[in-house]
Structure formats: C-alpha cells, structure tokens
Structure 1
C-alpha cells in the first residue's frame, strides 16, 4: 500500500504513537485505582471520543488525565488521517501511480515506434520523432534515466528491452517500427530476434558498433542497420567536399524550416493510384520514385503513373505536403 519509504516511516511512527497512547491511558487509569479491564475500557472509550459512564465520579486529577488523553487521541487521529491521505496521494501521484498512468498512455498508442534505450543516440531519435509528432515509447532498464525521460516528456517503461514482457507492454504487436540503439551489439541482436518473433512485419532499425555485427543483425531480422561511426565519417566527408548538399538536407529536416523532404507511400485504395505524378503531387517537387519492385526513378517524368506499392520522395512546404500525407 505504501508507495515510498518516507510514508512507511511515518506510518510506523503513527502506529508507535497509538500503542504508546494506549499504554499511557491504561497505566494512568490503573494508577488512579481502576482494575485493568476497566482501565482498558476507559482508555478505548476516551480515545474514540465515545466517553464512558462514571466519568463524574473521577477525581479532578482523573478528569484532567482523561482530558489530556482525549486531546492526545485527537492529535494522533489527525496524524493517522494525514498519513493515510499521503499514502493515497502517493499511490495516485507518486512513482507507482505515475507508472500506471504511463502504461495506460502506452496502451492507447497505435502505429507507434519503440525506442530501445535512452542514450545519446536514442535521445536524438526521440527528438526527431517529437518534431514530426510521431508517437513512440522508450524502454530503458536504468532507473536513473527516469528523471531525464520525465524532463524530456517522453513516454517510457523502466524495463529491459530484451524482455519479451517489456516489448509486449510497449505494444510491439501494434507498433509501426522499433529502433534498437542499446550500447551492446549482442543485446541489439537479441532484441531484434525477439522483436521479429513477436511482430514479423515490424520495421526494425538497429545500431551496430562493430562491422561484424552488421551481418548478425541482418540475419536476425533488422530491416536497416546503422553504424554511428560509419555515418559520422560519411557526414564529415560530405561536409568536406559537398557542404551545400549537407546544408540542403539540414534545411529539409522537420522543424528546421517550413519546407522538408517527405516520402509518400502509395497503398492499395489510395487516391494517388493510377494518377499521373503532376496531378497526384501538386505544389511539390518529386525527386524520386521507388517502384514496388525496387526500381528507382530519379527526377521522374511528371506524366509517370503511380501504382500500389510505389514510394515517392518529394520536396515542398508543409501546406502542400499535408494533403499528400493524408492520402
């Protein structure tokens, strides 16, 4: 019931005060010449404010003692109510209550992403998802990161991302994708295997620190594999020889400007099916079409027809992109 050590400590103090008060009352009435059963009865009646018959026969000392016992009883009663109220509030607002509410929030997520771990790489991923208003949940086993995740206002679970139970609690059966960015390559491989077994269709992006891990992750079922060191090297090379290309990519990032690059997938039943590119994507610049069979068509002809399974990479402002994203 008690949700914190402080509350448990206060509860023990209150319980000790009640027992001490009972002892004080019984001993006091015994010293005033009452038999032990009567002393117990009079103490209980006084503390419960019920009163007892024969109070008029008490001496002035006995009456003063009874009054002091009643006052102390009221004080202890107020303390008991305070401790119970604190326990109830901490149950709703404390760590246990906060985690219950967090789980309710996660249970409501659909078509979301699961981020495994909340290190520097994962924090950057979470920042990008927040910028694009993409729902996600973080799983991390380190309790010391809970304060950081609360500060960043991200939904989270304190658990091991390699746990099947944790992945189920994160909603992997209804998730859109999983980002596996744990520091350990071995754990990333294991998480990928478990996640793929739980949801065969989920998109998995995994991190590989060592070159040898790339093949293992691919075999485990990762759709995309990222090596931070390789990407950093490529980016530095691009900055050295093609800085304007990098500037353009940064400019097209979500949140960096009113313009961005976006990929539009043409699904069965979409209004974009069998429409020419010039009519399907008005107000934006089509950069690339990836056909369902994997064929790439850069700088596509405006009269090109879109088919189910195609993916179109376009560039434009948010007002023009939003209708396309809703298709």
Structure 2
C-alpha cells in the first residue's frame, strides 16, 4: 500500500537533497552566541561569588545566582542573613540580569524579524520535500503561462517545481497553490540542486526575456553533461521566429510560440468551428475517450522496414495511424497498409489511452509480438 502511495506521489526511495542548507542555517544561529555567552558568564560569576561570600554548597550557589540573575524569585535561601558585600553583589547581579536579559530578548527578536532565519528553515523543509520527487518537471519563471500550466499539471497528476527569482515569490506560490517552489535564479547551479534537477524528467522555461531562456537552456545542458545522464526534455517559449530557431539550436527540444498558437486556434475556429470543438473535446481535455499521440519507432523495433498493415494495430489495440512523419521530415497523411515504416519514423495515432499504451509496447519490442500470430 505504501509503495503504491509513493508511486502515486512520484516519490523516490532516496530522499536526500542534492544540496545541504545546514551551513547557511548554522551561520544564522551564530548570532545567538553572544547572548548565550553573556548569560553563562554572569551566572558563573554569580555562582563563584556566592560560594565565596556565603556558606553555600555549589548547587545552592548556582540556584541563588540563577534566580537572582533572571529575577524570577527571592527569599528561597539565606538572603535575610546577607552581609553588606552579599547585598551589593546581589544588587549588581540583579541589575546586570535585567540589562542582559532585555538585550538578549531584543537581539533574538531582531534576528527573527529579519526573516532570513525563518526563510532558511522554510526553504530547508521545501528542499527536503522536493528531494523525494522523481521524473518531475521544473517550471522556470512565474507568469500567466506558469499559472495555467500548473493547473494542467495538477489535473494530470504530473509533479512539478516552480522556480522564480522574485523575493516575494512565496506569496504568489501560495496564492496559486504551487505544491513545490524555490526562490532563486533558475539558471544557477544552486537552483538546479534545490529543485532536484538530477532526478527530473524535463524543464520548462517561460521567461519573456530571450536572454533568460538562452542562459537557462545552456546551463541545463551543461548540468546534464556533468551528471552524464539521459538528456532532459526542454520546453521553452519564444515570441519571434528568430528566437524560436535560436532556442532550438541551443538545445531546446520544443519551442512554443504563444502568439502563433493563439493565431492557429483562432484560425481554426474561424474556418472550422466544428474542428475546434473536436480539439476541445478530445485533445485539450483530460479523461477523454480518445487520445492523439505521436510515437517514435526506435531503430531496434521489429516494425522497421515492415508494412504498416503487418502490425494489425486496428485489430489488436483498436488504434488507427493517421499520419507518418519520416526522419527527413516528410509527412504522409492517412497512410494505407502498404506504407513502409522506416527507422525513427513518427507515427501519429488516435485511440484510447490503453490502446496507445499497448501500441507503444508493441512498437518497442525487438521481436515480432506473438499476438500477431493469431490475427
């Protein structure tokens, strides 16, 4: 049961963060040393003073010094028989206690009000939570696109971490219900460690400044080489065709142009309103009876250099192939059964989620599936 819950939440077995924030946290606690040292020194002076001035045992002298310094009591021991020196010493210790205690309380309150310590404690908890994620997406820069994408990811149960460098980003993150978030510059190595990028599936960058997207893509690809891991899937956004081409050359797998997408959808609505309704029903919404997906045929697949009709997708998985994109970019719409499947071709298929999942399993096999013997 616990393993199923971990899989549902996309948690891994190793929850150790990629970065240790304890040194920064300990650095903040160093400020508490002065008040603590002053309190200990004066209680030590009081204890030694009462040992010398009165006929006290060590524990009695410590008790007398403690409640005199902190002004929490009087008369529990031998105060009524104090001599002049003991009275003067007690007065000195009482006044010192009031001053040092007041200074210590004010000093501690100022540190807490500064916010750095509280921020580090919250950030450490967040980093520990993020460290349990696996195959998540890191969404960089908070804006209207991030807000909408986070809703879609939550509905689809896709784990994600949002990163932004605005100081007040935590308020925005809580407002828009981001489950995991980090405040920092997304392209920095520290931010990548905090977001547990080493176990992420991909990264999405939504900055409206092209230079930010460029810096992030380059940084992620360098980080990827340092880890010697499989390539991240990088999705970025750009407003101009020039920026789209530039980001693709730098290593972005997919570049989305919001203006172009909006124009395409409006055009579809104007030309074919019924087609737009179909897209809304089957493509853009979740939990639909049909899915549309493009699947790459790997080099080792048994399907390479075979005819499409030999796969019998319609009979076995109830999936239809409505398009083939060859490796050279040539697109074949509505291919017939005689179409030859080349290595690394992309098959555009439509069917149920289970049907497409089974079709993927068929395609990725090295040997011809036994199910085809009974068709």
Whether these two folds match at TM > 0.5 is yes
C-alpha distance after superposition, 1:123-160 (max 9, x if no partner): 32333334444444332223433344456344333221
1:188 aligned residue: 213
1:278 aligned residue: 312
Q: How does 1:50-61 map to 2 (within 5 A)?
A: 58=78
CA contact (8 A) 1:288 1:314 kept: yes
2:288 aligned residue: 257
CA contact (8 A) 1:290 1:296 kept: yes
TM-aligned CA deviation for residue 29 of structure 1? 6.8
What runs of 5+ residues in structure 2 fail to find an aligned partner? Answer: 1-21, 68-74, 83-100, 102-107, 226-230, 363-375
1:79 aligned residue: none
What runs of 5+ residues in structure 1 fail to find an aligned partner? Answer: 50-54, 63-75, 77-82
Question: Closer, same or farther in 2 for the Cα pair 1:44/1:297, shift >3 Å?
Answer: same
CA contact (8 A) 1:260 1:316 kept: yes
1:139 to 150, 163, 171: 163
CA contact (8 A) 2:303 2:341 kept: yes
245-254 vs 162-171, greater mean Cα deviation: 162-171
State TM-score, norm by structure 1. Answer: 0.66
Question: Aligned pair 1:105/2:132, yes or no?
Answer: yes
Distance 1:242 1:293 in 2: 30
Question: Closer, same or farther in 2 for the Cα pair 1:292/1:214, shift >3 Å?
Answer: closer
CA contact (8 A) 2:213 2:236 kept: yes
State TM-score, norm by structure 2. Answer: 0.59
TM-aligned CA deviation for residue 196 of structure 1? 3.3
1:44 aligned residue: 62
Secondary structure (helix, strand or coil) at the match of 1:321 reads helix
Secondary structure (helix, strand or coil) at the match of 1:105 reads coil
C-alpha distance after superposition, 1:223-242 (max 9, x if no partner): 33322223222322222222
Distance 1:269 1:139 in 2: 38
Q: How does 1:2-17 map to 2 (within 5 A)?
A: none
Distance 1:37 1:207 in 2: 81
1:227 to 257, 262, 282: 257
Question: Closer, same or farther in 2 for the Cα pair 1:58/1:221, shift >3 Å?
Answer: closer
Distance 1:149 1:266 in 2: 40
Question: Closer, same or farther in 2 for the Cα pair 1:42/1:285, shift >3 Å?
Answer: same
Question: Closer, same or farther in 2 for the Cα pair 1:173/1:289, shift >3 Å?
Answer: farther
1:52 aligned residue: none
CA contact (8 A) 1:22 1:43 kept: no
Distance 1:285 1:198 in 2: 40
158-167 vs 148-157, greater mean Cα deviation: 148-157
Question: Closer, same or farther in 2 for the Cα pair 1:141/1:324, shift >3 Å?
Answer: farther
C-alpha distance after superposition, 1:270-290 (max 9, x if no partner): 576557343376212322122
Q: How does 1:63-142 map to 2 (within 5 A)?
A: 94-106=121-133, 109-110=134-135, 112-142=136-166
Secondary structure (helix, strand or coil) at the match of 2:252 reads coil
Question: Closer, same or farther in 2 for the Cα pair 1:181/1:268, shift >3 Å?
Answer: same
1:160 aligned residue: 185
**Considering only aligned residues, what root-mean-square deviation do their CA atoms show, in Å?**
4.9
Question: Closer, same or farther in 2 for the Cα pair 1:131/1:264, shift >3 Å?
Answer: farther
Distance 2:197 2:77 in 1: 75
2:273 to 217, 238, 243: 243
Q: How does 1:161-180 map to 2 (within 5 A)?
A: 161-167=186-192, 169-170=194-195, 172=197, 175-180=200-205
TM-aligned CA deviation for residue 36 of structure 1? 6.6
Distance 1:180 1:197 in 2: 16
Question: Closer, same or farther in 2 for the Cα pair 1:129/1:295, shift >3 Å?
Answer: farther
TM-aligned CA deviation for residue 95 of structure 1? 0.4
Alignment coverage as a number of residue pairs: 294
